[in-house]
Structure 1
């Protein structure tokens, strides 16, 4: 698939600006594809509408959860007031002081943890495994897809903060709509990541030989992570409109490609397409465990993989018997789930 004219030579020039309209002013068909983009198939159109309904439902659930949380807080305040009202003056004073002391202790612990995390991320920027989130492909995406990608980037950073072996994250091609969305995230300015408006091919041109693009279309399976390499995850949420684009892009730029060893360790129930944050979490989990199978099992949801571990030779011949309705004969066949995925996905 073509790159639609996106190359590193003019990567530092500013592109799209401005934010998406607020929900109340957003047109009904904000997901319409721009002129020049491949048209959505009937199946993809249905999936898109289904995703829109899901997003609307999620917004309603979020509002309801907020109301429940506020009611819970109010109930706790009332319970506390009732508890104090039933105590004598000395008991009430001691209880209040104990609560104040516990709160101070929690805050001190939180401050200490925050400082340790901050230092850990600073160290990762100096010596951690380099992982690039390629945001160049945002120029091909709709407003809703960019919002989904923004959420996935947030999940990546949250996972990196929790990791005992955090990576050195690069956000390349961070400009236009995706940049304006991220800048609205509380604390984004303080993230310990490299934020580059230029594309990776320009920002890391001195280390081009070490660039490695992760794409499911590659014939090369990654055996282990090389600390000298810079692994690139394509930030593309496209509803399968741009199949093979990351592989084509890497080939055009003359950089190496690899794919995760998913089929070597797991039997997936559907495709091997994962979200940005899932790919990122697999990488940082591997940095900690040094075991691909454990890393994949820990990150990939159960619904995406078979109950039976077919990578184990002892399970290879496990079959189930089904009845043929037409002939009444019984036939042995290997069982595979056909569960459909409904979440936002990424080509890797």
Structure 2
């Protein structure tokens, strides 16, 4: 880790200058995602990447203390990223960018906006970067790119990801190359976002019903035979006919508020 701290590349910088726009629970969530990102870096044996926390304030610092961030091998920069990395080629990752990120290159600085997943603040990172000179006097460049989520996962419901997921994606593409975008995104973008909106709601609802059934009755061959309703019964919302209607447990359906729902 010390070698990555000193000379790792590429540089991944977390832009932590948005805490004034977040609630306390969201800042806490950001701190947790930063910890997860750091853990991902520690587990990555093939990639030696340098991490920076830029623009960090006392609100975030307070919430990072329980995570033990003082012992992390990361750079803490109080100033904004455009000053910290003056003279570098900077790639600002924002879902509002026009162009897709095509490759992860070792000679670049990748800036990830420190806005948690539930804070859907449209154009925040884009607007901030858009005010900057794309060709600074100190040299280098500043461009905006988005992960090619829509290109490879056209059914994704919302292309805004947790920052630790973005880190996992960058490290995976760095390791496997730009030809692996499809494989990497399918593997790392949460399934709930890869489904269409209606499919996602149905999947969550059906999974919730199965979990409650298993908690109440247990699962497997030892479960109550009366309560062992076939999975097709629980998928009745998709108009699938039960295999054995005579053994359908009406009481169980009523207990869980089950009903056919074609609204999605």
Report if TM-score (shorter chain) is over 0.5.
Answer: yes
> Secondary structure of the equivalent of 1:339?
helix
In structure 2, the CA distance between the partners of 1:178 and 1:337, relative to structure 1 (3 Å rule), is: same
Which of 290, 304, 309 pairs up with 2:193?
Answer: 304
Cα displacement string for residues 196-215 of structure 1 (whole angstroms, at most 9, x for unaligned residues): 111212222232xx111101
Contact 1:214/1:234 (8 A) holds in 2: yes
**How many correspondences in the alignment?**
191
> Secondary structure of the equivalent of 1:228?
coil
Find the counterpart in structure 2 of residue 245 from structure 1.
Answer: 124
Asked if 1:123 corresponds to 2:4, the answer is yes
Which of 17, 24, 28 pairs up with 1:136?
Answer: 17
Deviation (angstroms), 1:249: 0.7
Q: Which runs of 5+ in 1 are unaligned?
A: 1-117, 307-334, 343-348
Root mean square deviation, CA, Å: 2.1
In structure 2, the CA distance between the partners of 1:338 and 1:246, relative to structure 1 (3 Å rule), is: farther
> Secondary structure of the equivalent of 1:226?
coil
Q: Distance in 1 between matches of 2:197 and 2:23?
A: 34
Deviation (angstroms), 1:277: 0.8
In structure 2, the CA distance between the partners of 1:154 and 1:282, relative to structure 1 (3 Å rule), is: same
> Secondary structure of the equivalent of 1:153?
helix
Higher relative contact order (CA 8 A, sep 6+): 1
Which of 151, 160, 163 pairs up with 2:44?
Answer: 163
In structure 2, the CA distance between the partners of 1:130 and 1:298, relative to structure 1 (3 Å rule), is: same
Which of 266, 271, 276 pairs up with 2:158?
Answer: 271
Q: Distance in 1 between matches of 2:7 and 2:170?
A: 18
Asked if 1:231 corresponds to 2:99, the answer is no
Contact 1:125/1:167 (8 A) holds in 2: no
Find the counterpart in structure 2 of residue 26 from structure 1.
Answer: none
Contact 1:215/1:259 (8 A) holds in 2: yes
Find the counterpart in structure 1 of residue 231 from structure 2.
Answer: none
Q: Distance in 1 between matches of 2:121 and 2:197?
A: 27
Which of 59, 64, 79 pairs up with 1:198?
Answer: 79
Q: Distance in 2 between matches of 1:191 and 1:268?
A: 37
Cα displacement string for residues 110-130 of structure 1 (whole angstroms, at most 9, x for unaligned residues): xxxxxxxx3xx5236403211
Contact 2:9/2:107 (8 A) holds in 1: no
Deviation (angstroms), 1:261: 1.1
* TM-score under structure 2 length normalisation: 0.67
Which shows bigger deviation, 224-233 or 152-161?
224-233
Asked if 1:185 corresponds to 2:67, the answer is yes
* TM-score under structure 1 length normalisation: 0.51
> Secondary structure of the equivalent of 2:161?
coil
Q: Distance in 1 between matches of 2:171 and 2:132?
A: 26
In structure 2, the CA distance between the partners of 1:190 and 1:244, relative to structure 1 (3 Å rule), is: same
